[in-house]
């Protein structure tokens, strides 16, 4: 349970931070023609993907074979990447020419923040396990 909280906490903090910022900065986002609904949807998608990948990596961490953990990291990044690309394609198809490019690029930056948090948490856990 301790591992569960320590590794999931950064993802939850980032989710709450982004959600709060998007809601509070809605007038500013409208001023710069950024669709806040796209940002909130992307934030929710990244939270769900982060939790899914966390459980995959948590199960792999329990395995004695270190290759299983490495494969889970690679699989997790692929799941996130392909899901993000698929979500963008679905968004563009449904909105046609009216899709919000700024919101898509900001969402991709949000993806990088989630990815950095995951890497930092996994690195710290790996140091504990091997150190």
> 103-126 burial, b if ≥16 CB within 10 A, otherwise e?
bbebbeebbeebbebbeebbeebe
pLDDT class of 126 with cuts at 50, 70, 90: low
Q: What is the pLDDT of residues 97-109, one digit of tens each?
A: 999 999 999 999 9
pTM listed for this prediction: 0.88
The residues spanned by each domain of the chain are 2-126
């Amino acid at each position: 349970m301790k591992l569960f909280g320590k590794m999931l906490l950064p993802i939850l903090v980032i989710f709450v931070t982004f959600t709060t910022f998007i809601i509070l900065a809605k007038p500013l986002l409208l001023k710069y023609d950024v669709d806040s609904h796209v940002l909130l949807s992307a934030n929710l998608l990244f939270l769900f993907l982060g939790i899914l990948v966390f459980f995959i990596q948590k199960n792999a961490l329990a395995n004695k074979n270190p290759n299983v953990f490495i494969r889970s990291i690679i699989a997790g990044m692929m799941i996130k990447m392909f899901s993000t690309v698929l979500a963008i394609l679905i968004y563009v198809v449904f909105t046609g020419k009216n899709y919000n490019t700024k919101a898509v690029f900001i969402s991709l930056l949000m993806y990088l923040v989630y990815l950095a948090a995951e890497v930092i948490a996994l690195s710290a856990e790996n140091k504990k396990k091997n150190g």
